[in-house]
Structure 1
Amino acid sequence: LYKGVLAAVPFVDVVTTMSDASIPLTTGEYDQWGNPADKPYYDYMLSYSPYDNVKAQAYPNMLVTTGLHDSQVQYFEPAKWVAKLRATKTDKNLLLLHTDMDAGHGGASGRFKALHDVARQYAFMLLLLGEKS
């Protein structure tokens, strides 16, 4: 059905992030996500948190991006998720991690830097479709 996934600054370690009140925006988002200190919310978050649900199975080709200066989804969340996927997945599909050392949550700033991000995404999609030039 799908050739691959573009996961741009994905919020993938929901339980850990929402359990740390010192991380910016966490307590302000309890209304949206719930407070994991309350067991029903914790159990519900655990049921859908991508990091906590990685298992030995095949995963699609993936390009995961993050920004070093992202205060909303800190760079180590996608990196930790990719590391766990690499250690656990059973396929040989691509699993790429791109960390922009200058970007925040919205990606690169500046017109041309943002276009480089778009070009990277298109290159990944074209590669999956078999375009090699």
Structure 2
Amino acid sequence: MPRLRLSPLFAVAAAIVATVGTAACAPDSVRNYEAHGLNKYLNTIQDACADTRLGNHNLGEWLRSGTTDSDSDYVYWLDQTSRLYYSRINVPQYRDAIAGSMGGTKSNADALDCIVRHLPPDRPTQPPGGMFQ
């Protein structure tokens, strides 16, 4: 029985398609390497909202020091904030989502007010660079 030989070009093309397809499924917060506007917004939040708290996290320090992959609060917050920035959820939905996961509306009010107050009015409606949007 003859062996089927695939050309190297075919193998490279298949690898690229698989990689692009997988990356397209990642949440916006994972694909934000091209998201200069979102990154600028996060920097603004880091500075303007530095003394506020979300749950048991000081927002300024949380953004400044980064997080580990196991910090599910940060991952969730970043994903929801990305959705808010790209108008995939509205402000009340964002407030409810964050307050629900971080201990309530009253304790998080200052941080949520600050985050929403600094939301750019001319923000984009989808993340940059995606093939499958």
With the shorter chain as reference, the TM-score category is under 0.3
Structure number with higher strand proportion = 1
Bigger radius of gyration among the two = 2
Q: TM-score, normalised by structure 2?
A: 0.26
Q: TM-score, normalised by structure 1?
A: 0.26
